[in-house]
């Protein structure tokens, strides 16, 4: 009797990675969640290849839990995604385990592997290889420019308060833009910097020109941002109260792979507008959710504020809920939840259209 030769089956293993700027620490657990080993690798393409090769030396890698996929782990996530490996983003650490065992890099990598094995404290990460990532990068730069411009204006106004009277009299009754353009056009003698009045003129002119330069930078960034929003989901901009900035933030929150959001309730939770039970005894109520993406929550809040001023349906809803005894905060929570549902289905419909076009091509 001939016994057939059976091909040995490789064991299944799960990986975990604690990410850092220069080095990543990796750990591997087996199918019983038992640690097999930890190792350190450089944050380069060669390091990523060596890490995956090392993990595969223990068996078939089923999935890998990675910390900070939006920052230190972004490069590793892209490499693993191209290699066809399932990646889970490990969120907040298990505080009870950390109190018992302490903290170091190998322990964090091991905990990431345990989390990926059990499917706890993990989410499907956003991919960062499409137009939404381009939109995110541009918006981050614009946000820092807006912040720097605001600081420049505050410093300019503060300096004017304590400036010599002869300077204050020149700009006392000017509007903001008149003030900035007038000061930016000053031509003080740069060699007379020892004089307090001249030095103040030089400082104010530098601040005014900085404000104008940042304004030009913001205007330049607004052009590609609006073009990307209109290409990604033009229907968002047709809805009442949704402007370019709010639409851009909601698109960034959903990411290049919004299909990872399985329901409108999951999108609401991601935006921090899912209701949190706060009932006690005979009182049945819900409170605001303080979690989720606070930038997306802020975008939804601004949409609701706009609709409260412009949309008759929203005004009627507020009046109805007010007569039912709901507070203003509770009404705002409900409105943000409704907007999140509306946005989710717009994103879902647009994603379906894009996928159909891709298949047709």
Q: Which regions of the chain carry the CATH code 3.30.420.40?
A: 12-123
Cβ distance 237 to 229 under 8 Å? yes
Question: CA 350, 354, 355: angle at the middle one, nearest 5?
Answer: 115
Q: How far apart are CA 268 and CA 155, in angstroms?
A: 39
Tell me the C-alpha distance between 246 and 278, whole Å: 29
Residue numbers in the chain where pLDDT is lower than 70: 1-9, 94, 97-98, 286, 288, 355, 358-361
- The predicted pLDDT at position 309 comes to 94
Say which CATH superfamily domain 12-123 falls into. ATPase, nucleotide binding domain (3.30.420.40)
Q: What is the DSSP letter of 228?
A: H
pLDDT confidence of residue 9 = 61
Strand order in the sheet with 122-123: 35-42, 23-29, 12-18, 60-67, 86-90, 122-123
From 262, 275, 278, 284, select the one nearest 337 (Cα to Cα).
Answer: 275
- Please say whether the beta carbons of 23 and 43 come within 8 A: yes
Q: Write the DSSP assignment of 254-277 as a string of letters.
A: H-S-GGG--SHHHHHHHTT-S-EE
Residue 359: per-residue pLDDT: 64
Rounded to whole angstroms, the Cα distance separating 241 from 243 reads: 6
Residue with tokens 């038992």: 34
Q: What is the pLDDT of residue 281?
A: 78
* Distance, CA of 124 to CA of 81 (rounded, Å): 12
The answer to whether 40 and 25 have CB atoms below 8 angstroms apart is yes
Q: Enter the pTM of the model.
A: 0.84
Looking at residue 358, its pLDDT comes to 63
CB burial of residue 117 (10 Å; 0-12, 13-18, 19+)? buried
β strands within the chain, DSSP E: 12-18, 23-29, 35-42, 60-67, 86-90, 122-123, 276-277, 286-287
């Amino acid at each position: 009797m001939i016994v057939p030769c059976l091909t040995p089956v490789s064991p299944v293993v799960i990986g975990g990675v604690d990410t850092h700027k220069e080095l990543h620490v990796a750990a591997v657990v087996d199918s019983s969640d038992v640690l097999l080993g930890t190792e350190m690798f450089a944050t380069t393409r060669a390091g990523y290849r060596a890490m995956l090769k090392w993990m595969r030396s223990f068996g078939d890698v089923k999935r890998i839990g990675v910390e900070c996929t939006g920052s230190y782990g972004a490069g590793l996530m892209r490499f693993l995604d191209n290699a066809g490996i399932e990646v889970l983003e490990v969120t907040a650490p298990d505080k009870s385990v950390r109190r018992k065992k302490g903290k170091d890099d190998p322990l964090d990598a091991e905990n990431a592997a345990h989390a990926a094995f059990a499917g706890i404290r993990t989410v499907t990460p956003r991919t960062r290889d499409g137009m939404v990532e381009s939109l995110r990068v541009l918006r981050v730069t614009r946000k820092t420019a807006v912040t720097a411009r605001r600081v420049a204006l505050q410093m300019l106004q503060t300096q004017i308060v304590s400036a010599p009277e002869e300077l204050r009299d020149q700009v006392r009754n000017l509007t903001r833009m008149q003030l900035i353009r007038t000061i930016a056009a000053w031509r003080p003698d740069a060699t007379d910097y020892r004089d307090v009045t001249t030095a103040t003129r030089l400082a104010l002119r530098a601040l005014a020109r900085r404000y104008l330069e940042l304004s030009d930078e913001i205007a330049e960034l607004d052009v590609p941002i609006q073009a990307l929003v209109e290409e990604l989901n033009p229907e968002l901009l047709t809805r009442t109260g949704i402007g370019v900035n709010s639409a851009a933030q909601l698109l960034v929150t959903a990411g290049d792979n919004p299909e990872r959001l399985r329901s409108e309730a999951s999108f609401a939770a991601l935006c921090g507008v899912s209701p949190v039970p706060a009932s006690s005894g005979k009182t049945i109520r819900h409170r605001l959710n303080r979690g989720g993406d606070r930038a997306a929550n802020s975008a939804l809040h601004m949409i609701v504020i706009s609709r409260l001023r412009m949309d008759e349906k929203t005004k009627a809803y507020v009046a109805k809920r007010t007569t039912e005894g709901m507070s203003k905060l509770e009404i705002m929570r409900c409105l943000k939840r409704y907007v999140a549902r509306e946005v989710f289905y717009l994103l879902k419909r647009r994603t379906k259209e894009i996928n159909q076009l891709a298949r047709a091509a």
